[in-house]
């Protein structure tokens, strides 16, 4: 499954803001919501089996040098996302935005 992740880059980190079913949906979110930093829409394959249709998990690794989390991928289940994020990483459950 392919999804489109809205990333916000600020303070030296890449944070996932939303996961969308299509690029036009993600682009529309950028247009409607002003934010600090730079926004970008990136295409990602969902890694692993999807446990719940319409729901994915984003993984971000912890970087102690700057005390930040950086987005690294989209996964179909929590266990796989947690393994990718690592012990001090961050995993967020996200509903895929369809409209």
In 3-state terms the chain splits into helix, strand, coil percentages (rounded to 5) of 20, 50, 30
* pTM, rounded to two decimals: 0.92
Average pLDDT over residues 50-74: 96
Average pLDDT over residues 84-97: 97
- pLDDT above 90 (res 40): yes
> Which sign does the torsion angle of CA 44, 47, 49, 53 carry?
negative
Cα–Cα dist 34/98, whole Å: 21
For the chain, give the mean pLDDT.
94
4 contacts 42 by C-beta, under 8 angstroms: yes
């Amino acid at each position: 499954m392919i999804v489109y992740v809205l990333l916000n880059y600020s303070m030296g980190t890449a944070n996932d803001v939303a996961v969308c079913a299509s690029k036009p949906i993600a682009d529309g979110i950028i247009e409607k919501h002003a934010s600090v930093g730079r926004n970008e829409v990136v295409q990602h394959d969902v890694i692993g089996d999807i446990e719940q249709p319409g729901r994915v998990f984003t993984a971000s690794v912890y970087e102690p040098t700057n005390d930040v989390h950086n987005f690294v991928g989209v996964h179909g289940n929590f266990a796989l996302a947690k393994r990718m994020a690592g012990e001090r990483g961050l995993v967020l459950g996200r509903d895929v935005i369809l409209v």
